Structure 1
């Protein structure tokens, strides 16, 4: 598979809270990639800091927003980082949310145009991936990138995407986790962080398409919805839950810890994820 070696499991978190020291520890713990959320810009100065503070962990964007970051700028960042840190930067791009921009028109066409520019600027297919939820963008990811970076997903969705992507494309599954054995408190944490997405049409439509009822998707979400997209309980229970994505066809799981300090949970999960993804 001609793509960056992201390993079997990694971390998803906002680029705004990700520090070089934390990434260095994630690498020591065995996490193969750090996926930077909250739409980092192409000129964000943190990429170099994270890569220079570590030796092998892959830094991926999840995602660079095509409406706010010009394709040429994204290409320049990729090429610069690839030259300096070969095989350690993966450019994840996506169309974001209709509710977040006034320019959100014909997102599929905009993604095609963006990839055309990346081609022209010399960004190879194995160095980029797409945020894909539905079948059409998944097919675009299959045909023109290393693979797909679905967010707010469940194993049934991963199974569907793997069928579309085929066996040789990267499929990364994001899953939210809270290390808490108090069921109601864990669900409340989940609602604070995952209820927001039900107001975004692309996520709500995809969740409805893959089997959730309308009643599940009334913000801040039913217990069925929260329990599906937020793994909670003991570290062992969480590891069992998130690795269901591997059985469904994911190559790589990235955990998003719903806590201000993510490292204690990441420390607890690392050996369990390593054992379950051998």
Structure 2
């Protein structure tokens, strides 16, 4: 049964999680769990074996691990399904499989991505990966609707609370909505933009993100070069811990169930120190 048939399949991820471009260490995961964050998302198209997941789950008690996301072009569905079942058997209900189509500019085989995503989801269904433990990377209306129909919900990346509100209206109340938002902990706006801009600039060369920003009302000037200050400020929260928490919480007010926080700048120590400073203002632990 799918979300569209009216059954809520929302995974319990906690109100806030942590998004990283590479797997964190099990010891970092322990500290993140202690701070009250509910889920660690691992992005940058992790390989199909998902070998990083078990070491994190072994060292933690309640923390969820999610992929943000597995790339359908580089991770064969059959192998991903085997990995899912291996993890689920060892740690029931603690792993969430996020899948997505990646970027046309970076994938030679990128043809008819929507049809390819549907076929990939068909393969996961055939391998008995439950829709209640899957989410789909989604920005535009068509893929958001697919996420609602074929998975537990949507994991939009590099979006604003305005997008979250529009997505929630489209998806309805029973579907998980878990956007990602970037953070630089500094009261200096210029420093925050200096740290955040290179990450955002990468996505300004990708048509799906550019098109989504245009739907959100950003202009050609906002999207030119490395992005306007208006654009950077909208997708990279900065300021005091209280100010950042207020900006992240706008996603919840707009309809998000969970917000995945990506800390920019610095290394592992800065990741944990930033998450620690944000925990109180975010109301963690729940």
1:161 match: 167
4+ aligned runs moved over 6 Å, structure 1: none
1:43 is displaced (CA, Å) by: 1.1
For the residue of structure 1 that corresponds to 2:282, the secondary structure is helix
Distance 2:10 2:245 in 1: 25
1:145 is displaced (CA, Å) by: 0.2
1:74 is displaced (CA, Å) by: 1.0
1:52 is displaced (CA, Å) by: 0.7
1:28 match: 34
Q: Are the counterparts in 1 of residues 11 and 176 from structure 2 also a CA contact under 8 Å?
A: no
Tell me if 1:135 matches 2:141: yes
For the residue of structure 1 that corresponds to 2:279, the secondary structure is helix
**1:205 aligned to 185, 200, 211, which one?**
211
1:130 is displaced (CA, Å) by: 0.2
Question: Tell me, which stretches of 5 or more residues in structure 1 are unaligned?
Answer: none
1:96 match: 102
1:271 is displaced (CA, Å) by: 1.7
**1:240 aligned to 238, 242, 246, which one?**
246
**1:37 aligned to 43, 52, 62, which one?**
43
For the residue of structure 1 that corresponds to 2:111, the secondary structure is coil
Provide the aligned length of Structure 1 versus Structure 2.
Answer: 276
Q: 1:21-52, CA deviations, whole angstroms, 9 ceiling, x for partnerless residues?
A: 11111011000000001111121421111111
Distance 2:100 2:154 in 1: 10
Q: Are the counterparts in 2 of residues 66 and 95 from structure 1 also a CA contact under 8 Å?
A: yes
Tell me if 1:121 matches 2:127: yes
Q: 1:94-140, CA deviations, whole angstroms, 9 ceiling, x for partnerless residues?
A: 00101111001111000100010111000111010000000000000
1:190 is displaced (CA, Å) by: 1.2
1:205 is displaced (CA, Å) by: 0.9
1:257 match: 263
Give TM-score, length-normalised by structure 1. 0.97
| Residue range with higher mean Cα deviation, 220-229 or 73-82 | 73-82
1:62 is displaced (CA, Å) by: 0.3
Q: Are the counterparts in 1 of residues 184 and 237 from structure 2 also a CA contact under 8 Å?
A: yes
Distance 1:121 1:45 in 2: 19
For the residue of structure 2 that corresponds to 1:274, the secondary structure is coil
1:12 match: 19
Question: Tell me, which stretches of 5 or more residues in structure 2 are unaligned?
Answer: 1-7
C-alpha RMSD over aligned residues: 1.2
Distance 1:234 1:152 in 2: 21
For the residue of structure 2 that corresponds to 1:34, the secondary structure is strand
| Residue range with higher mean Cα deviation, 222-231 or 191-200 | 191-200
1:84 is displaced (CA, Å) by: 0.9
Q: Are the counterparts in 2 of residues 196 and 219 from structure 1 also a CA contact under 8 Å?
A: no
